Amino acid sequence: MISSHNTRVRRRHLGVAAAAAGLLATLLTAAPAAAIPDPGDAPTQGKVSSAQRADVSSAVASGEIPGVDEIVHSDNIEHLTNIPKEALPGTNSDLAFQGRYAFAGNYDGFRIFDISNPKAPKTVAQVLCPGSQNDISVSGNLLFLSTDSSRSDNSCSSTTQPATEKSSWEGMKIFDISDKRNPKYVAAVETACGSHTHTLVPERRNVYVYVSSYSPNAAYPDCQPPHDGISVIKVPRYAPEKAALVGFPVLFPGEGPDGGGNPGGPTNPGVSKTTGCHDITVLPSKDLAAGACMGDGILFDIDDPERPKVIDRVQDNVNFAFWHSATFNQSANKVVFTDELGGGSGATCNAEIGPNRGADGIYDIVGKGDKRKLVFRSYYKIDRHQAATENCVAHNGSLIPVKGRDIMVQAWYQGGISVWEFTDSRKPREIAYFERGPLSTTALTTGGSWSAYYYNGYIYSNDIAKGFDVLKLDDRRTDQAKRVRMHELNVQTQPDYFDDFDRD
């Protein structure tokens, strides 16, 4: 049982049944859109019924849920600080880490923090470079930034331009960060359908970049169907200006205009059609990767990084609407996949949607070599029901390195941050949490934690609206992790925590 800092939010029972039923029908039938609005847009606001508004107001007044922006958490988590947005007002996105620095993506560019004192991070640089969603990662002196919105050119002063125009640009941008106070833009590589996310496969002399993108359209000259694979970019470490596309491996071979991925509706109602991948996590120490690819989850071999080979593929046409991301456990015999039901803008953490949709799916990896299979074991979803005005669904998280146990921290947008254990694949359980009250009690407004990652003894979160949060977890089950010190962390390039890094 979790000791609660504020017991009135241990469980919430919110929502008008009829309105929630209407929301569920919408989520089941609508095709997932981009997870977050285009850069420069204000956070998404959606209408809620008068009955829902009254329900939310009543719940706040009675103490059933926290008030607007009120912070609540379990007793084993401490909120150390929040650094609000400054020069970059756009949507905050992903995080990466290197030494004493944290790198925070934002739809308007990226921000670099000095986190040598986690209680008082200092801004080192803010770089204006618009282009959703500015998914970010670092390797050595290089920083990588994804652009997944159609731009007038590849510069940091570009403007929005329709994807129907051949001259429009989307893809990967590369910066030199040898001087953290003065990052320099050094290269760009255009990729089909842009770069929604990317994953690094580092080698000694080169960095391979797996670019995930999706939703092709016959009207888009640079994003044509079928789009049934990933773009692979090769970046020479000491000559990044020579970065170039080296292949487009097909992961879903098949006949027809959309390749061989999940056909989605009407064959599989409520499930996204697979037209690419949303996110890939690699485990270089095991030459493995797991792909969350819209309507499919895949396991593949990356022994040859330019020619990944699919080992197994799974679907969940009952509960998973949009396969969003993946996390291996330390032993590489489990994968946690997330379902971003509603694209991240829906209020899906409630009794009506239930515990199995918009959740994590825990899969065991059984067998050896090319005969390995993904076998479903259970779902995990936070049980603190959120208001009808709070977007909430499973999103980005990372392992907390504890030998012999499988524990991770995970963002749930306005559902906050959950620390949970899946050592027993069939019986996942939460051990800590942190969250804020709704941004609004009158409209569905997009916000909350985009990414929550564990790095060198602390949890760091990039909140879409509120900025950069630092948390400290104090729990005997995770104390061992404080001794693991990492030199660099890109969560989608998952390390071997006990072989790759130092321990105090």
pLDDT band for position 3 (50/70/90)?
very low
pLDDT at 256 over 90: no
Q: What is the rounded end-to-end Cα distance, in angstroms, of the chain? A: 31
Amino acid in position 220: Y
Which class is domain 7-503? Answer: mainly beta
% residues pLDDT > 90 (the chain):
84
pLDDT band for position 500 (50/70/90)?
low
Please write the tens of the pLDDT for every residue from 148-174: 999 999 999 999 999 999 999 999 999
Please write the tens of the pLDDT for every residue from 75-94: 999 999 999 999 999 999 99
Greater confidence, 26 or 96?
Answer: 96
Residues 6+ apart with CB under 8 A from 378: 361, 362, 425, 426, 427, 428
Dihedral sign, CA of 52, 393, 488, 147?
A: negative
pLDDT at 487 over 60: yes
- On average, the pLDDT of the chain sits at 91
Q: Note the pLDDT of residue 49.
A: 87
Q: Are 36 and 102 in contact (CB under 8 A)?
A: no
Q: Note the pLDDT of residue 21.
A: 38
What are the backbone dihedrals phi and psi of residue 19, each rounded to the nearest 5 degrees, phi first? -65, -40
Closest CA to 104 of 82, 120, 127, 81: 127
Which parts of 8-161 fold into alpha helices (H)? 17-29, 50-62
% residues pLDDT > 70 (the chain):
90
Q: Rounded to whole angstroms, how far apart are CA atoms 283 and 423?
A: 19
Please write the tens of the pLDDT for every residue from 375-402: 999 999 999 999 999 999 999 999 999 9
Q: Note the pLDDT of residue 6.
A: 46
Please write the tens of the pLDDT for every residue from 180-230: 999 999 999 999 999 999 999 999 999 999 999 999 999 999 999 999 999
Q: What is the dihedral of CA 214, 24, 434, 8, to 10 degrees?
A: 180
Q: Rounded to whole angstroms, how far apart are CA atoms 167 and 324?
A: 30
Q: Where are the domains of the chain?
A: 7-503
Q: 60-69, 132-141, 215-224, 333-342: which has the minimum mean pLDDT?
A: 60-69
Q: Rounded to whole angstroms, how far apart are CA atoms 414 and 346?
A: 10
Q: What is the dihedral of CA 471, 475, 480, 486, to 10 degrees?
A: -10
pLDDT at 308 over 60: yes
pTM beyond 0.85: yes
What are the backbone dihedrals phi and psi of residue 385, each rounded to the nearest 5 degrees, phi first? -65, 135
Please write the tens of the pLDDT for every residue from 10-57: 344 443 333 343 444 444 433 333 333 333 344 566 788 888 888 888
